Structure 1
Amino acid sequence: MPTPLSKTPSPEHHCPSPPYRVEQIPRNCGISKCSGELIAFIDSDDAWTTNHLKDSVKALIDNPQIDWVCSDLSRIEIKTGRIVVSSNFHADGKKPKFFNLKNYKKGNVNIIKDKRLVRFLLKYGVIGHLPCSVLRKTIFEVLQIRNFRIGEDRLFSIEAAKHGFNFAYIDNIHLHFGVHDSHSTVGKNEETQKYIDVHDELARMYRFIYKNKSFSFLERMLARRALSHEYFWGLAYNGLWLKEERNLSIFYFYKAIKIWPFSFLFWKTFIFWYLLNPVGGRWAVMLR
């Protein structure tokens, strides 16, 4: 495993530290004060590997056509040091879907050259998160990180791809991502309301894209589909039903189907669970 980088920045690095968090306004303020050509992000509870800046900056210098280079990360429980996920790219032991995007390789850098990139990001999510990325400041001269508490990196990467900025990835661990109780990454043991809040915020992000006329009809339909999947699988099925919040889960099943009524699997699952809980399920749908 690569060695984590010290938290103390060297003199040539400027790290703006806004006095408040959560919203993206202070992050954009910090970016506006940066005078360099490249931008990198790091949270206080995460740690870059020693090779992150060296390899990422080299990739951008050697390949001026690249605007955004991202890398893999591991997830580590802060309290115990336990490795929760050893590789985000290869979390299931399978080749990640974005490896199928058309790309060409220069050294250890995979440069994506695929017109399907925006549609891919809408369907599958980010390739690499902001804390394990280095970006050219020219991106921020066109775009700002929008004011979403969760999912802002997904939306920012989608908008960057939509504006024609070029992406690349390095298939190496560059970040140790700290996982703790107050983090927006939600596990099955989290409180129900926090689980709902997280997925509602992700849904709000997809709803923003769906209603944004600057995206094509197909792209907006993909955002609508992603919105429904966030409610159906992310919240209702994997979250609330497993927590035995039956009425709430049936409500979100129903809400997802109203958004995307074209999925046979949605209907099949919804009818099955509704029949298992007919009285509570009926009240859940009627009252909400």
Structure 2
Amino acid sequence: MAKLTFIERKKLETLLEMGGGYVLDFSNRTFHEFVADSVGLEIYDQKYRYGSGSKANCLRGFIEVESDVNVSKLIRDLVEYAAEVRRDADPELVAACNAISDRLNRATNSSPSGNRTAPAAMPVSNEQRIRTFISYSWDNESHKDWTRGFADALVTNGIETILDQYDLRPGEDRFQFMEASVRDADAVLCVCTPAYVLKANSRSSGVGIETSLLSPQFYERMRTAKQFIPIIRESDGASHTPDYLSPLIFIDFRIDSEFGSRMEELLRLLHGQPKHRKPTIGPRPNFM
């Protein structure tokens, strides 16, 4: 498995325009052909399938499970292609992404006995993974795309994520889906916008139904250990969150340029890896 840092992933996703589930200007067919030419592998293999199975998610899956040598080669070729097709590509970002490929290549060449295959990673059992449910409103297509990209970032960083765009299909019962999702989640992430707040407080539309399901569990959260985390995406300057969430500290995702640092903050919270840890209490001083 190729080990990329969160910042490295963010740089690659920015250059390769992966936010909406796409990769550059590839169609499904041309992306399949490109990867096959680059590393001789089938990008739509089931082992690379993450979440919705979009091109972006398949690439994330490839990076997650493939060896350093294959990931390094594919990144190098994708970056070269991006530099050709994106007239607005930042040269510094292109250089930074090539540096990621170079780092992986150096790690491969320096492995013991010239072994060019990365050692198998220890699998993470489903019992060890936290499961999140994303509650949000369909304000517009742009907001739906942002929420899906937000979910993608969680999935690729070890968080099992329930999102209607991934998991609710035509013909399925949306009310049963909402009820099961709220019940089964370890953490509920409420993506707050003015429309979401209004619908939640008035108990209208799908958000209102979710709120009716969520609020009883919210008041039981101390007993059940279920987390509720407000994610502020947009605010009109009045109330940032629905009334029942107002006591909670939120994570502010309103500034797109700060997405990486806010996502790290959220991931640290969900994985139980705080940036600052309280030191172990020491002995009492020997007062003279």
Q: TM-score, normalised by structure 1?
A: 0.24
Q: In proportion to residue count, which structure has more helix?
A: 2
Q: In proportion to residue count, which structure has more strand?
A: 1
Q: TM-score, normalised by structure 2?
A: 0.24
